[in-house]
Structure 1
Amino acid sequence: MVSTVQNTDVQQKDAEHAVVVAVTFHAVFDSGARTDDGVYEVGVAFPLLQALQKVNERLLEKNPAESLLFDVVLITTDSQQQQQSSHITSSTRHYGLEVSRFCFSSEEDFTESLLKNKVQLFLSTDSNEALQVSKKGILAALLGEYTASCPSEQLRVLFCGDAVIWPDAEPAPESRQAAQSFSAQLGEMRQRFGMFDSPLNIALLTSHGGRESCGSALLTLRSLGVSADEAYCLAGAPRSPMLTLLRPHFLVSCLDD
């Protein structure tokens, strides 16, 4: 059973052009902690949602009729949380989060709910959820503890030119196409802004190989309409220090055709 409720507190996005991003409840909020006002404490995805909103705000400042915007869906499969849906809606209102829809689903209908909402990017702190979604042809990214320290004034997306996002599974053709489609939309968004003072930063990182490997990955991105603001070639060096420095909100695999 899937139930989707529109958030009447925010203006709904253009369904034909918006980039739909689904984030799990347990990534946005800490269900085990509430403030004195009864709202949930924020989770690791909170800065990410703020950064998505900042991109939307800047796009609308440039063009009030802009339709290429992030459209955020908050999803939960926890039956106990669904029974307390009023706390979820009041918490998003309390923090001023621009969540367009609340989706309540069972674990069995979880991926179906994403497809019904035409989700283009799924974000979770649960690796099993992310892998399950990826196998259904939806682009998924895993959020980690580092996400909580990411900046909220600028959305930072890191493309990994040779990353193995799911080591135990080859990406399905549908998932590859979803990654390419999302990348193209992200690149189009980035083109709306100038070189400096952009609310959206796109970086590329290659862990192995030399300049040729990095150059090939850059060409792949450019073929999708994505111009990277920064590019890093680690040539076999550990990736963790660079991730700590770059502080991306999420990682996307740079997939070839």
Structure 2
Amino acid sequence: MPAEKPNQKLVVAVSSRALFDLDESHRIFETQGKEAFCRYQIEHENEILEPGFGFALVKKFLDLNLAFPDEPLVEIILLSQNSADTGLRIFNSIAHHQLNITRAAFTSGVSPYAYIPAFGAHLFLSANGDDVRKALDAGCPAATIVSGAASNPTSQLRIAFDGDAVLFSDDSERIYQQHGLAAFAANERNEAHTPLPGGPLKAFLSALHRIQTHFGPETAPIRTALVTARAAPAHERVVRTLRAWEIRIDEALFLGGMPKGAFLKAFGADIFFDDQKGHCDSAVLHQVAAAHVPNGITNRPES
């Protein structure tokens, strides 16, 4: 019996530099300016771009639509600081790689984050850290992809998340950073039955969950994991929060401060989202693609 079609698709916005390797043209922009960059892109618009850090992830997202070819589960939106003129090379490359991407915003050097809510995107994945910060400041879910890796060999899409400041707010992280581990642990014990406020990627996880619920556990095309530095007894509030949100997490790893990379590799993550660059670096060491969510006190310590 076929799975029931979800009533709302997942929308992921991706920048051109996250999707394709544009390092060469970006160097020209940085060293020679906008006019030289535009000339270069037009002169090379029939040369196909190689995949970037986010290409394999985007391909797996689009492959989810094979179950419902007439009503897709996922839509990928292109958000690019290129102009429409210089963006021809990008769309030529999209066509060459047979990616079903039809909607785009080209903003000619202006950060495209304002179009995230207009497109209804649950995530903006970019290689530009400034654009990601602007998006987060505007209340939009966003992450900076900092590395790429070959996706896990199965067709299943596997996505791992940190907890505090990513899926959850950084309220508890602030207590830890400002008052230490003992104060953090005491607060989490006292607030164990109080759900944590949502963080920037809560809506993205919710959209993934919505797709999962329309498949049986053995056939679900998406598998998720929470990979957090928390340990018992601080785990209880996390479990109760996800229960209150009515969101399923397939695997939960409470590592008590251990490096995350080896666990992400064991999970087979196609990508890992974390607010701390150190944890992203640990993922990279184990050939796991990582995306930095520059949110919360660890990224913007208060003076």
TM class, shorter-length: 0.7 to 0.9
Mapped to 2, the partners of 1:180 and 1:161 lie a distance apart of 10
Please give the TM-score of this superposition, normalised by the length of structure 2: 0.64
Which 10-residue stretch deviates more, 227-236 or 110-119?
A: 110-119
Q: Is the Cα contact below 8 Å between 2:21 and 2:49 reproduced in 1? A: yes
Mapped to 2, the partners of 1:190 and 1:236 lie a distance apart of 30
Q: Is the Cα contact below 8 Å between 2:16 and 2:79 reproduced in 1? A: yes
Q: Is the Cα contact below 8 Å between 2:166 and 2:273 reproduced in 1? A: no
Mapped to 2, the partners of 1:187 and 1:207 lie a distance apart of 23
Q: Is the Cα contact below 8 Å between 1:184 and 1:226 reproduced in 2? A: yes
Corresponding residue for residue 252 of structure 2: 231
Mapped to 2, the partners of 1:228 and 1:119 lie a distance apart of 21
Q: Is the Cα contact below 8 Å between 1:44 and 1:144 reproduced in 2? A: yes
Mapped to 2, the partners of 1:179 and 1:110 lie a distance apart of 19
Please state if 1:150 is matched with 2:151. yes
Mapped to 1, the partners of 2:80 and 2:243 lie a distance apart of 36
Deviation at 1:178, TM superposition (A): 5.8
Residue deviations 1:81-117 (CA, integer Å, cap 9, x gap) = x433222112111111121312101444522232332
Task: Give the RMSD, CA atoms, in angstroms.
Answer: 3.3
In structure 2, list runs of 5 or more residues that go unmatched: 1-6, 26-40, 175-196, 276-303
Higher relative contact order (CA 8 A, sep 6+): 1
Mapped to 1, the partners of 2:212 and 2:100 lie a distance apart of 20
Corresponding residue for residue 203 of structure 2: 181
Higher gyration radius (CA)? 2
Please state if 1:54 is matched with 2:63. yes
Matches within 5 A, 1:1-257: 17-31=8-22, 32=24, 38-58=47-67, 60=68, 66=71, 69-79=73-83, 82-108=84-110, 110-145=112-147, 147-151=148-152, 153-162=155-164, 176=198, 179-210=201-232, 212-246=233-267, 247-251=269-273
Mapped to 1, the partners of 2:65 and 2:145 lie a distance apart of 21
User: More strand by proportion, 1 or 2?
Assistant: 1
1:137 to 1:243, Cα distance in 2 relative to 1, 3 A: same
- For these two proteins, the number of residue pairs brought into alignment is 224
1:42 to 1:56, Cα distance in 2 relative to 1, 3 A: same
Mapped to 2, the partners of 1:84 and 1:71 lie a distance apart of 23
Please give the TM-score of this superposition, normalised by the length of structure 1: 0.74
Mapped to 1, the partners of 2:109 and 2:87 lie a distance apart of 17
Runs of 4+ in 1 over 6 A off after TM superposition: 164-167
Corresponding residue for residue 12 of structure 1: none
Identity of aligned residues (%): 26
